[in-house]
Amino acid sequence: MELIVQKFGGTSVADAERIHRAARRAIRAKQEGNKVVMVVSAMGKSTDKLISLARDISDDPPRRELDMLLTTGEQVSISLMAMAIHAAGHEAISLTGGQIGLITDSVHTKARIQKIGTDRIRQELENDRIVIVAGFQGIDESGEIYTLGRGASDTTAVALAAVLGAKYCEIYTDVDGVYTTDPRIEPKARKIEWISYDEILELASQGAGVMHSRAIEFGKKYNVEIHVRSSFTDFSGTWITHEEEHMEHIVVSGVTVKKDLAQFVLAGVPNQPGVAANIFAHVAEHGVVVDDIIQTFDQSGHASISFTVEESDLSECKLVAEEIRQAYNLSEVICKEPVAKVSAVGVGMRSHTGVAQKMFKALAEAEVNINTITTSEIKISCVIDPDQADDALRVIHAAFELDKEPE
């Protein structure tokens, strides 16, 4: 008997009718002869609502208490899902992250999965039940409750599919797959049939909110085939798999935008071995996640280091930057916020030239100024003014003709 994991995002369980619909899908998969594990997110926008409730109480709520609060969202939806399956005459059980033995490290609001027990899930599956697991949460070795970062129910699902050896992992959401860009910003975006782990990993980490990036890391590492699809239709969605030869022919697969970023510039940094290592060790100790690191040097023996951080890390990063400024007697620390970042991603960039030029020309024609540029083998990113972000996304999408079916 094969095992499949089905994950339902917030919009797919936003009300009673949608919960019943998701329940019917899981029951159907079971009736087709599969063992079924469901991973469910909090209903609709309830995580956002819980966060705003916390902010009504305090400007800076303790992260431990935020985790305590946010994990309740998933506990509501898993229990309702189990009730829906029972109401349809089938056996099901809801379990929290702690109950299945999903063990994390001890970083509140963005914990990472360390290991996942499978005994409890297997035992319930043996009892012929559909197992419904709360997404986005776990406990550390001491039993404290943690969340895994916004959108991380995807990661719970793919990690479970990996440890359980699932045939595949279905991600049910409110779009019918991964698109060339966010269809809410560019209606001409086109659904992609197949995409490699590397591309979707870049797209997800550069802002394509459709999948949590750590979910893709698990998928790639443990060979989990992921099918992103709509919970409202039966159409096939997007399959995420290892790279195949034909994928190289597509130069750019997708474009993304990330808003609400901040860019730090540390000026007058001593240009000596070990300084960058110490600076970023200090930043990491504070749990601040940085991206787009650029270092340049001048004739005076000094370097300038810039990097971006997400808005959620901004206040912490300001404190760290001030400590670094004092420790190294820096001439200046600049924090520019908010800034936005647009990125173009595609494995075909490895073998095609002129990609950067095309992207910069499109931005220039739209009179978008580029602050900084970073690249990887399969990605080009530009930090720009947030007011121009959506326009920038659309002109890059058009420049690479992403609305047209690839040849």
Residues that bind Mg ion (CB under 5 A): 9, 151
Q: Strands 35-40 and 3-8, how do they pair?
A: parallel
Give the whole-angstrom CA distance, residue 22 versus residue 135: 15
Cβ proximity to ligand ADP, 179 vs 197, nearer residue:
179
What are residue 7's phi and psi, to 5 degrees?
-110, 135
- Span of 39-47, 262-270, 326-334, 337-345 interacting with ligand ASP by CB under 6 A: 39-47
By CB under 6 A, how many residues form the interface with ligand ADP? Answer: 19
What are residue 105's phi and psi, to 5 degrees?
-75, -170
Cβ proximity to ligand ADP, 124 vs 182, nearer residue:
182
174 counts as binding ligand ADP under rule CB under 6 A: yes
- Cβ atoms 146, 363 nearer than 8 A: no
Q: Quick count: other Cβ atoms within 10 Å of Cβ 333?
A: 16
- Span of 177-185, 280-288, 356-364, 366-374 interacting with ligand ADP by CB under 6 A: 177-185
CB 9 → ligand ASP: shortest distance, Å?
A: 6
Instruction: Characterise 197 by phi-psi region: left (phi > 0), alpha (psi -120 to 50), beta (else).
Output: alpha
Which pair of tokens denotes residue 247? 């994928």
Q: Quick count: other Cβ atoms within 10 Å of Cβ 1?
A: 6
Helix axes 46-57, 63-87, angle to 10 degrees: 150
Q: Which of residues 117-156 bind ligand ASP (CB under 6 A)?
A: 135-136, 150-153
Upstream peptide bond of 183 is cis (omega within 30 degrees of 0): no
73 counts as binding ligand ADP under rule CB under 6 A: no
Say what the alpha-carbon torsion angle 313, 314, 319, 323 is, to the nearest 10 degrees.
90
41 counts as binding ligand ASP under rule CB under 6 A: yes
Cα–Cα nearest to 338, from 243, 263, 227, 239? 263
* Sole binder of ligand ADP in the list 181, 205, 263, 306 (CB under 6 A): 181
DSSP class of residue 183 equals T
| Interaction pattern, residues 266-295, with ligand ADP; x per rule: CB under 6 A | ------------------------------
What are residue 169's phi and psi, to 5 degrees?
-120, 120
| Interaction pattern, residues 49-78, with ligand ASP; x per rule: CB under 6 A | ------------------------x-----
Cβ proximity to ligand ASP, 139 vs 383, nearer residue:
139
For residue 290, with 0-12 CB atoms within 10 Å meaning exposed, 13-18 middle and 19 or more buried, which class applies? middle
Cβ proximity to ligand ASP, 153 vs 308, nearer residue:
153
11 counts as binding ligand ADP under rule CB under 6 A: yes
Cβ proximity to ligand ADP, 170 vs 182, nearer residue:
182
Cβ proximity to ligand ASP, 9 vs 138, nearer residue:
9
What does each C-alpha distance from 54 to 317, 320, 345 come to in angstroms?
22, 25, 37
Cα–Cα nearest to 379, from 402, 359, 401? 359
Cβ proximity to Mg ion, 210 vs 309, nearer residue:
210
* Sole binder of ligand ADP in the list 179, 218, 264, 400 (CB under 6 A): 179
CB 180 → ligand ADP: shortest distance, Å?
A: 7
Give the whole-angstrom CA distance, residue 141 versus residue 161: 22
348 counts as binding ligand ADP under rule CB under 6 A: no
CB 402 → ligand ADP: shortest distance, Å?
A: 10
| DSSP for 142-153, written as a single string | T--EEE--TTTH
Residue 208, binding choice from ligand ASP, ligand ADP, Mg ion, none, Cβ under 5 to 8 Å by partner class: ligand ADP
- Residue in the shown chain whose Cβ atom is closest to ligand ADP: 9
Q: Which residues bind ligand ASP (CB under 6 A)?
A: 9-10, 41-42, 47, 73, 135-136, 150-153
Q: Which residues bind ligand ADP (CB under 6 A)?
A: 9-12, 41, 151, 173-175, 178-179, 181-184, 208-210, 254
